[in-house]
Structure 1
Amino acid sequence: MIAPLTTAVRDQPLPEIAETVIEVRNLTKRYGRNIVHQHLDFDVRRGEIVSIVGGSGSGKTTLMRQILGLERPTSGSIKVFGEDMSELDKDEARLMRVRSGMLFQQGALFSSLSVFDNIAQPLRELGKVPEDLLRDIVMLKLEMVGLPCKHASKMPAALSGGMVKRVGIARAIALEPELLFLDEPTAGLDPQASDEFVELISALHRALGLTVVMVTHDLDTMVALSTRVAVIADRKVIVAAPVEQVAGFDHPFIREYFLGLRGRLALQGLSPERRAKLPPEALEPASEAIPLRTAP
């Protein structure tokens, strides 16, 4: 299920990396006595695809939710597009949400709404889009994610897992956001659907000039898409760099995650230029039984 957009932008250059658009400083997040983040710093620059990885319970999704304003930090500051999220009034917060799109894990579609109405929902919240224009926008978004318009009338229960995620992406980009947040975007997909979804994200990144923040545990997805990888361990971001540099960072989680058999398989799918920057341990022989996806 390759979207026409994927073919159209395949040779288009990646967006230029520019100014910082997300700035997290000295962030602490507690739930009662449980400290999830402590003095955490994190940055994202315009045009990047930054993957957030970490062990179970490390607070990856919690960090994303705080950046989106869905949760408040216990202390510290979060600035998005230079605006402190804790100081926004109701109208400013609404405008900030329009500039961001979110794909929740498993798509999170409204089960009682059709595909069309799920995608139209953010547009209808604005209350200013005529119905004929709204229909054109929805159909365009469906086409962009590689779904025929005939699926617009279907209910989410009639869709495959990959189609649900594509509808979720169509909804996330309905308002032409500058930031796109993805929570485990390829979880639950078979290998072919996962590869196609990665191609779709890459195409949207190029076509729309998106800045993408992604939580993932899928090594192939992370290696194929990320311009940088931010690793959360010990309640903070211990390193944020291109994956070939992260793999050489001395920390128990990184050694286990990146330099185990599965990690080496993924890393050896990098381009020759990037493989040359990997630590020697990452280049140790790995089984060729699992097909490798070549990263840009």
Structure 2
Amino acid sequence: MPTIPRDDPRPPGNEPHKARQMAESFGVDAERYDRARPAYPQALVQRIIAAAPGPDLLDVGCGTGIEARQFLAAGCTVLGVEPDPRMAGHARRTGVEAEVATFEDWDDAGRTFDAVVAGQSWHWVDPVAGPAKAARVLRPGGLLAVFAHAYDPPPPIAEAFAAALRRVAPGSPFAAGPPKPAREIYRQMFATFADGIRQATGFGEPEHWRFDWEHHYTRDAWLDLLPTTGGLTRLPPDALAEVLAAVGAAVDAAGGGFTMSYTTLAVAAPLKP
């Protein structure tokens, strides 16, 4: 698992789409989520737009609208589908049209799109039903593109987090620390996504894209982001405060901030004409 709690790609049974309590826990503080979560590289946004046959996008698991607003700013039309009404409500308040449903149960009402995108959310979608549903709502030549950030904070900060979580939530799958780097875990996850797309009818061969970038975090900015990640969204307030205090002390010891190296991974496949 990644070194910090995020949208855990590997709940029990390796079937994250069935972990609905986790999947729908991020709306506990939608405003913080929208403020603290990073946006996506503009190079990714532009590559998706260039590969799609037109500007009409469906954003699966749109959350608070982070990537949807990036596509809107680039001239696209975007409809979001989001199972958490708190997240969808925030997206609407920021100018994103959003409907409340899981993608599998969403009523497309005969609508079709030039691209189906999913940012940091495709692991919450059924690996069989999701690609099949995308194929049904895509126009000929339309693009399915799913993407997510992989990242590991500096070891002292990651270790402080894991130690604090072991104290307050010893049964958490995040408390033991990661068996391998986040990038390797996410590469494996995206290989699984590609396999699911191959099994769906009508798609061309999936392509793997990678975008590397950096972002500097102050102590306050990192502690703002942590409560929006999967391992902490359901912690009681006192336990959350203990974890944040421990991580904050580690960031202070590192000089009050650090630069995170991000890798944004994507899998994209066109629907055959």
The TM-score range, normalised by the shorter chain, is under 0.3
TM-score (norm. length: structure 2): 0.27
| TM-score (norm. length: structure 1) | 0.25
Larger RCO of the pair (alpha carbons < 8 Å, separation 6+):
2
